[in-house]
């Protein structure tokens, strides 16, 4: 039998709005923090040295062989995703925060990743308590005696557990991706079996997404300065179709020009590899330690709890 | 086909670096880009490849670099056909600099990009990096080695792209509009780099003034054929031929006090505006900015402490080095960006609702007209803004006709904007704005990418417009012709507000902001001299003392004979009638007769 606690109906909006309000406040704080950190302090970084080789780039994770790093963090992420209890999930968050601290990665970028997740996680926190099936032993809050609107505390814990696991994995993405240049990471993935063409496409997409975005913004400005505002009518659809079509044509033409430029400089279907890969004892040691930590979390989750 | 330079390959001569015979190329869509090209390019030559938009210049460059395969004919490099495996071998020797540096910088960092050419040849990372660093040092970008290319300024991107070619120590550089969209300071830097290049240069550019000091030979393409192949000086000295090829840039000739300007007889030169009196327009200004500032979302300051007033019917230029904040200022004036500070339009504060309606009174032609052309026909393009204005169908039709007529695009209603030439597209963009009858017209680099004929036509159209004008340009000639007042921007602020004439004569201002036009003025003056005071070869008769030896008897006697010699002649201008006076005989001793030609001054005709 479920443990039922009755509350007056007016407390229900409070219960929903309070966590939503908390999440909104957190999002606003994170955005402000991210924005403030983004504002340059009037001096351009020293671009004559690699950004990953300066004093923030000499960490254990930066020196870790990229193939070992990818495999280890992938396996560890699956281990975290398989956790069922809140406590080990929170421990996984702590481990991820530790990895972040060791790697000295950019807090702003981590915050931006969390911001991207916040909407999805917020929805889970609100929806799951009202939708999980009721099991015996569950604690259920009833508001104004309305049976179909029961708030299951187990659902809330489940949502928090999922959120903790998602945050733990998201926090690891920065130590995974920001501790080696993207071409090196993609070369590592290619060594692990990723088709080379996929790696090249990712690399070029990463380079040209800025150019295409810039072009799209300029074209959108070109429409706005002639009075275009998006409305819910057919003409808006027609205009947007023209915009997208022209953007596609321009992007296609640029693709051809970039390919010509690559061929003119000797491209024959392969990008040169960036750096050499050498798996050393310390790489294997670090990978083993990390996977052991994942195993320990699973053991704690499944055996002890 | 007139051809004053011929490059026959004799048995005792070295073969040409490039040898092209009977070259034809047709694109898959059926457009014939080149036909019947015969051309030899020798090592060490510096060649200007000129012609109107669509004449086949870029296609020829692609064929010279092996990016396209000839449909008919042959392209030989160092005596061998430019196809694999020879092409793969010589690829590093032929560098191609594309017009848009973003097409060429595909690396993750500048250094990685510059090293790409070497790494593609199989050079190890350890060897490629120092070579790439050296190439970056040549273009003064060592301090940007690890910067992502998309975060470089336009001028830096151009130089980084050049470094990517120099790293393989090429024998040939093929350059497509190397200085397009560069400010004069960056242009000068680029010119110096190209002048220092020891190999063969083939440069496409509409800017013949820029090419003047760089190139010694000119190849004029017209509708896919070589129309002229001559010395560069010869090309620029003959206005009739330039005009016939749509290349006559003489309308923009800007001559210095040291050049022809002081000469009142200078024929047909473009009149420079007289010094403007101090402008004191009456009434409330149309646009007022006070203590205006703007920051990009990432926090970078783009405008600061901007104070500006523009009155109705004023014509104002905004100048400044790349990155000075000019385009941001325009974006604020047209309501795309919202800064902080006081902004009044027509006496009213520009609040959020007013800003949303600014487009009704302010029109802007973008630097790249492709940014504002997105409809499937010319008529639709013009009708787009009119529809937003709420014009009736009849009124729209009438305004479209007027605007098209104004920009000389009558009859283009059903044409597809994407298929128009660069000049036509620019005029279409202008027409699409003019049809909305703006009170303030903003032009951002209107001459970018136009050939001289397109520039001249645009200039005539803009001169006749009765509208308040704000012109952002690096083109000192257009600024002089179109505006009375110039705002000089530097690092986000307006540091000077002065009559245009005062600006164009103040070298200190130009040097301060990287806007020094010294090189252009020097080249223009030299070209001007070539055009109006150029060389003829006439047969003249000379009285002459000649030594005759008859066996042991030597005697000297006077006689006459005819021969050609150099004769400087000044034209009053193409359109003005003038006669070439003939002197069948004039008296002058010729003491160096045995040594050949005798140059001497003639009386002014």
- Is A211 in Cβ contact with B143 (below 8 Å)? no
Q: Calculate the dihedral angle through the C-alpha atoms of B499, B505, B509, B512, rounding to the nearest 10 degrees.
A: 150
Would you say B245 and B221 are in contact if contact means Cβ atoms under 8 Å apart?
A: no
- pLDDT score for B597: 52
Query: What's the residue count for chain A?
Result: 305
- pLDDT score for B271: 42
Using pLDDT thresholds of 50, 70 and 90, give the confidence band for residue B595: low
Residue B327 CB contacts under 8 Å (≥ 6 apart), including other chains: B367, B444, B472
Would you say B232 and B210 are in contact if contact means Cβ atoms under 8 Å apart?
A: no
Q: What residue has token string 């729209």?
A: B396
Q: Name beta bridge partners: B95.
A: B173
Residue B384 CA to residue A219 CA, distance in Å, equals: 14
- Is B116 in Cβ contact with A264 (below 8 Å)? no
Residue B428 CB contacts under 8 Å (≥ 6 apart), including other chains: B369, B373, B378, B381, B382, B407, B409, B412, B417, B420
Q: Does the CA dihedral A232-A236-A237-A240 come out positive or negative?
A: negative
- Model confidence pLDDT, tens digit, residues B49-67: 988 878 889 999 999 999 9
Answer whether residue B600 shows pLDDT above 80. no
Who wins on pLDDT, B245 or B272? B245
Q: Which residue in the set B106, B125, B372 is minimally distant from A262, CB to CB?
A: B106
Residue B472 CA to residue B39 CA, distance in Å, equals: 40
Contact list in B for residue A264 (CB cut-off 8 A) is 65, 67, 91, 94-96
B104 Cα to chain A: minimum distance (Å)? 5
A237 Cα to chain B: minimum distance (Å)? 13
Answer whether residue B457 shows pLDDT above 70. yes
Q: Which residue in the set B67, B366, B436 is minimally distant from A264, CB to CB?
A: B67
- pLDDT score for B273: 43
Answer whether residue B376 shows pLDDT above 90. no
- pLDDT score for B51: 87
Using pLDDT thresholds of 50, 70 and 90, give the confidence band for residue A96: very high
Q: Which residue in the set B125, B146, B164 is minimally distant from A265, CB to CB?
A: B164
Q: Around B147, how many Cα atoms within 13 Å sit in the side-chain half-sphere?
A: 19
**DSSP letter string, B90-116:** HGGGEEEE-SSGGGT--SSSHHHHHHH
Residue A197 DSSP SS3: helix
- pLDDT score for B7: 44
Would you say A132 and A154 are in contact if contact means Cβ atoms under 8 Å apart?
A: yes
Residue B557 DSSP SS3: strand
Q: From the CB of residue B276, how many other CB atoms can be counted at a distance below 10 Å?
A: 14
- Model confidence pLDDT, tens digit, residues B1-15: 334 444 444 444 567
Interface test with A, best of B101, B374, B425, B441 (most A CBs within 10 A): B374
Q: Name beta bridge partners: B47.
A: B202, B217
Q: Does B370 touch chain A (CB under 8 A)?
A: yes
Q: Does B119 touch chain A (CB under 8 A)?
A: yes
Between vectors from CA B238 to CA B263 and to CA B581, what angle results, nearest 5°?
65
Show the beta-strand stretches assigned E in B377-505. 440-444, 468-472, 485-490, 493-499
- Is B146 in Cβ contact with A47 (below 8 Å)? yes
| A50-55 average pLDDT score | 58
- pLDDT score for A134: 84
Q: Does A234 touch chain B (CB under 8 A)?
A: no
Q: Does B323 touch chain A (CB under 8 A)?
A: no
Residue A99 CA to residue B587 CA, distance in Å, equals: 97
Interface test with A, best of B77, B87, B90, B106 (most A CBs within 10 A): B106
Between vectors from CA A248 to CA A244 and to CA A249, what angle results, nearest 5°?
120
Q: Does B143 touch chain A (CB under 8 A)?
A: yes
Would you say B269 and B254 are in contact if contact means Cβ atoms under 8 Å apart?
A: no
- pLDDT score for A164: 94
| B421-441 average pLDDT score | 90
Q: Does B299 touch chain A (CB under 8 A)?
A: yes
DSSP B417: G
Q: Which residue in the set A47, A215, A224 is minimally distant from B145, CB to CB?
A: A47
> What stretches of B139-172 show up as alpha helix (H) in DSSP?
154-166
Residue B541 CB contacts under 8 Å (≥ 6 apart), including other chains: B560, B561, B562, B584, B585, B586
Q: Angle between the A107-131 and A11-38 helix axes, to the nearest 10 degrees?
A: 170
| B386-398 average pLDDT score | 91
Chain B contacts in chain A segment 11-40 (CB below 8 A):
35, 38-40
Would you say B153 and B146 are in contact if contact means Cβ atoms under 8 Å apart?
A: no
Answer whether residue A98 shows pLDDT above 50. yes
| B565-589 average pLDDT score | 53
- Model confidence pLDDT, tens digit, residues B91-127: 889 999 998 899 989 888 899 999 998 888 888 888 8
Answer whether residue B84 shows pLDDT above 90. no
What is the rounded end-to-end Cα distance, in angstroms, of chain B? 32
Per-chain mean pLDDT for chain B: 80
Q: Which of A265, A290, A273 is nearest to A203 (CA)?
A: A273
**Token pair of B33 as six digits:** 């880009």
Query: What's the residue count for chain B?
Result: 605
**DSSP letter string, A63-108:** HS-HHHHHHHHHHHHHHHHT--SHHHHHHHHHHHHHHHHHHT--HH
% of chain B residues with pLDDT over 70: 77
- Is B363 in Cβ contact with A207 (below 8 Å)? no
How many contacts, defined by CB atoms under 8 Å, are there between A and B?
Answer: 157
Residue B249 CA to residue B206 CA, distance in Å, equals: 9
- pLDDT score for A261: 92
Q: Which residue in the set A40, A46, A218 is minimally distant from B299, CB to CB?
A: A40
Q: Name beta bridge partners: B487.
A: B318, B497
Between vectors from CA B185 to CA B179 and to CA B186, what angle results, nearest 5°?
40
Contact list in A for residue B67 (CB cut-off 8 A) is 260, 263-264
- pLDDT score for B590: 57
Q: Around B128, how many Cα atoms within 13 Å sit in the side-chain half-sphere?
A: 21
Residue of A nearest to B382 (CA): A226
| B237-262 average pLDDT score | 61
% of chain A residues with pLDDT over 90: 32
- Model confidence pLDDT, tens digit, residues B461-510: 898 888 899 999 888 888 888 999 999 988 889 988 989 888 877 766 66
- pLDDT score for B256: 40
Interface test with A, best of B102, B175, B327, B492 (most A CBs within 10 A): B102
Which of B239-253, B265-279, B382-396, B501-515 tops mean pLDDT? Answer: B382-396
Who wins on pLDDT, B299 or B196? B196
Residue B476 CA to residue B559 CA, distance in Å, equals: 56
- pLDDT score for B288: 93
- pLDDT score for A280: 87
Would you say A180 and A52 are in contact if contact means Cβ atoms under 8 Å apart?
A: yes
| A54-60 average pLDDT score | 65
Between vectors from CA B219 to CA B214 and to CA B220, what angle results, nearest 5°?
120
Chain B contacts in chain A segment 179-208 (CB below 8 A):
181-183, 203-204, 206-208
- pLDDT score for B1: 38
- pLDDT score for B448: 78
- pLDDT score for B23: 92
Q: Which of A288, A301, A292 is nearest to A90 (CA)?
A: A301
Contact list in A for residue B328 (CB cut-off 8 A) is none
Q: Does A250 touch chain B (CB under 8 A)?
A: yes
Using pLDDT thresholds of 50, 70 and 90, give the confidence band for residue B593: low
- pLDDT score for B20: 92
Contact list in A for residue B88 (CB cut-off 8 A) is 266, 268
| A82-97 average pLDDT score | 93
Q: Does B371 touch chain A (CB under 8 A)?
A: yes
Would you say B185 and B514 are in contact if contact means Cβ atoms under 8 Å apart?
A: yes
- Is B112 in Cβ contact with A47 (below 8 Å)? no
Return the exposure string of B235-271: e unless at least 16 CB atoms fall within 10 Å of the residue's CB, then b: bbbbbebbbebbbbbbbbbbbbeebbbeeeebbbbee
Between vectors from CA B262 to CA B256 and to CA B267, what angle results, nearest 5°?
95
Chain B contacts in chain A segment 165-184 (CB below 8 A):
181-183
- pLDDT score for B453: 80
- pLDDT score for A266: 87
Strand order in the sheet with B172-176: B94-97, B172-176, B200-204, B46-51, B217-222, B225-231
- Is A265 in Cβ contact with B120 (below 8 Å)? yes
Residue B535 CA to residue B568 CA, distance in Å, equals: 5
Per-chain mean pLDDT for chain A: 85
- Model confidence pLDDT, tens digit, residues A266-293: 888 888 777 678 888 889 999 999 999 9
Residue of A nearest to B376 (CA): A242
Contact list in B for residue A254 (CB cut-off 8 A) is 100, 102-103
Chain B contacts in chain A segment 251-290 (CB below 8 A):
254, 257-258, 260-268, 272, 274-276
Residue of B nearest to A209 (CA): B150
- Model confidence pLDDT, tens digit, residues A5-51: 888 888 878 877 877 787 788 778 777 776 666 555 445 667 777 76
- Model confidence pLDDT, tens digit, residues A127-154: 888 888 888 888 888 887 777 778 888 9
Interface test with A, best of B99, B108, B363 (most A CBs within 10 A): B108
- pLDDT score for B263: 39
- Is A225 in Cβ contact with B374 (below 8 Å)? no
Contact list in A for residue B367 (CB cut-off 8 A) is none
Backbone φ and ψ of A290, nearest 5°: -65, -45
A254 Cα to chain B: minimum distance (Å)? 7
| A235-257 average pLDDT score | 91
Using pLDDT thresholds of 50, 70 and 90, give the confidence band for residue B276: very low
How far CA B57 is from CA of B18, B44, B218, B448, in Å, comes to: 16, 20, 12, 17
Answer whether residue B519 shows pLDDT above 70. no
């Amino acid at each position: 039998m479920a443990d039922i606690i009755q509350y007056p109906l007016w407390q229900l909006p409070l219960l929903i709005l309070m966590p939503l309000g908390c999440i909104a406040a957190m999002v606003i704080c994170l955005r402000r923090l991210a924005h403030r950190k983004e504002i340059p302090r009037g001096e351009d970084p020293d671009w004559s040295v690699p950004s990953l080789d300066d004093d923030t780039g000499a960490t254990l994770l930066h020196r870790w062989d990229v193939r070992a790093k990818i495999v280890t963090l992938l396996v560890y992420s699956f281990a975290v995703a398989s956790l069922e209890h809140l406590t080990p999930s929170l421990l996984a968050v702590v481990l991820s925060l530790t990895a972040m601290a060791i790697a000295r990665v950019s807090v702003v970028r981590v915050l931006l990743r969390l911001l991207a997740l916040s909407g999805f996680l917020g929805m889970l926190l609100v929806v799951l308590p009202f939708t999980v099936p009721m099991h015996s032993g569950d604690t259920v809050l009833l508001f104004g005696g309305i049976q179909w609107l029961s708030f299951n505390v187990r659902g809330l814990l489940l949502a928090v557990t999922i959120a903790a696991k998602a945050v733990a994995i998201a926090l690891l993405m920065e130590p995974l991706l920001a501790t080696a240049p993207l071409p090196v990471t993609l070369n590592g993935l290619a060594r692990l079996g990723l088709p080379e063409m996929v790696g090249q496409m990712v690399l070029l997409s990463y380079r040209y997404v800025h150019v295409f975005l810039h072009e799209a913004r300029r074209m959108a400005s070109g429409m706005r300065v002639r009075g275009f505002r998006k409305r819910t009518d057919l003409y808006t659809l027609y205009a947007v179709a023209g915009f997208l079509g022209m953007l596609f044509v321009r992007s296609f033409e640029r693709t051809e020009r970039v390919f010509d430029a690559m061929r003119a400089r000797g491209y024959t279907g392969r990008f040169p590899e960036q750096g050499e890969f050498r798996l050393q004892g310390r790489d294997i040691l670090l990978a083993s330690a990390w996977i052991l930590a994942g195993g320990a979390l699973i053991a704690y989750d499944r055996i002890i709890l | 086909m007139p051809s004053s330079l011929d490059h026959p390959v004799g048995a005792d001569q070295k073969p040409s670096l490039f040898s092209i015979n009977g070259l034809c190329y047709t694109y898959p869509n059926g457009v014939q880009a080149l036909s019947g090209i015969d051309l030899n390019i020798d090592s060490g030559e510096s060649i200007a490849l000129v012609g109107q938009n669509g004449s086949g210049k870029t296609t020829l460059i692609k064929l010279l670099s092996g990016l396209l395969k000839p449909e008919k004919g042959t392209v030989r490099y160092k005596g061998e056909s430019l196809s694999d495996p020879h092409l793969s071998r010589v690829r590093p020797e032929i560098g191609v600099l594309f017009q848009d540096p973003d097409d060429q910088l595909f690396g993750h960092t500048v250094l990685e990009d510059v090293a790409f050419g070497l790494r593609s040849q199989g050079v190890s990372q350890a060897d490629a990096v120092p070579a790439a660093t050296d190439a970056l040092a040549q273009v003064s970008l060592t301090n940007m080695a690890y910067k992502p290319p998309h975060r470089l300024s336009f001028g830096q991107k151009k130089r980084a792209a050049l470094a990517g070619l120099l790293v393989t120590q090429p024998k040939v550089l093929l350059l497509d509009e190397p200085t397009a969209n560069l400010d004069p300071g960056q242009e000068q830097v680029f010119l110096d780099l190209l002048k220092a290049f020891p190999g063969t240069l083939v440069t496409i550019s509409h800017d013949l003034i820029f090419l003047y000091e760089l190139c010694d030979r000119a190849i004029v393409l017209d509708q896919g054929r070589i129309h002229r192949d001559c010395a560069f000086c010869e090309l620029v000295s003959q206005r009739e031929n330039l005009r016939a090829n749509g290349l006559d840039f003489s309308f923009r000739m800007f001559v210095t006090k040291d050049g022809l300007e002081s000469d009142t007889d200078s024929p047909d030169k473009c009149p420079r505006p007289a010094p403007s009196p101090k402008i004191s327009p009456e009434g409330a200004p149309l646009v007022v900015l006070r203590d205006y500032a703007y920051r990009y979302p990432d926090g970078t300051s783009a405008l600061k402490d901007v104070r500006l007033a523009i009155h109705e019917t004023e014509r104002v230029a905004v100048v400044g080095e790349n990155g000075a904040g000019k385009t941001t200022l325009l974006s604020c004036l047209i309501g795309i960006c919202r800064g902080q500070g006081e902004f009044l339009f027509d006496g009213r504060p520009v609040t959020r609702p007013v800003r949303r309606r600014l487009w009704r009174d302010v029109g802007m032609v973008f630097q790249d007209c492709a940014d504002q052309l997105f409809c499937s026909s010319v008529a639709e393009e013009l009708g787009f803004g009119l529809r937003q204005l709420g014009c009736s169908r009849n009124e729209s039709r009438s305004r479209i006709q007027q605007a098209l007529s104004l920009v000389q695009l009558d009859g283009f209603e059903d044409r597809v904007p994407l298929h128009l030439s660069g000049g036509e597209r620019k005029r279409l963009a202008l027409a699409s704005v003019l049809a909305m009858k703006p009170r303030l017209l903003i032009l951002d680099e209107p001459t970018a990418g136009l050939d001289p004929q397109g520039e001249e036509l645009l200039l005539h159209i803009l001169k006749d417009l009765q509208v308040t004008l704000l012109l952002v340009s690096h083109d000192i000639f257009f600024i002089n012709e179109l505006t009375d007042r110039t705002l000089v921007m530097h690092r986000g602020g307006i540091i000077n507000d002065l009559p245009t004439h005062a600006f164009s004569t103040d070298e200190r201002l130009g040097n301060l902001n990287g806007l020094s036009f010294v090189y252009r003025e020097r080249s223009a003056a030299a070209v001007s001299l070539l055009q109006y005071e150029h060389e003829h070869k006439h047969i003249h008769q000379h009285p002459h003392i000649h030594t005759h030896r008859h066996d042991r008897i030597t005697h000297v006697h006077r006689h006459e004979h005819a021969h050609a010699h150099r004769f400087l002649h000044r034209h009053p201008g193409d359109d003005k009638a003038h006669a070439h006076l003939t002197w069948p005989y004039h008296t002058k001793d010729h003491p160096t007769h045995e040594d050949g030609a005798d140059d001497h001054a003639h009386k002014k005709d």
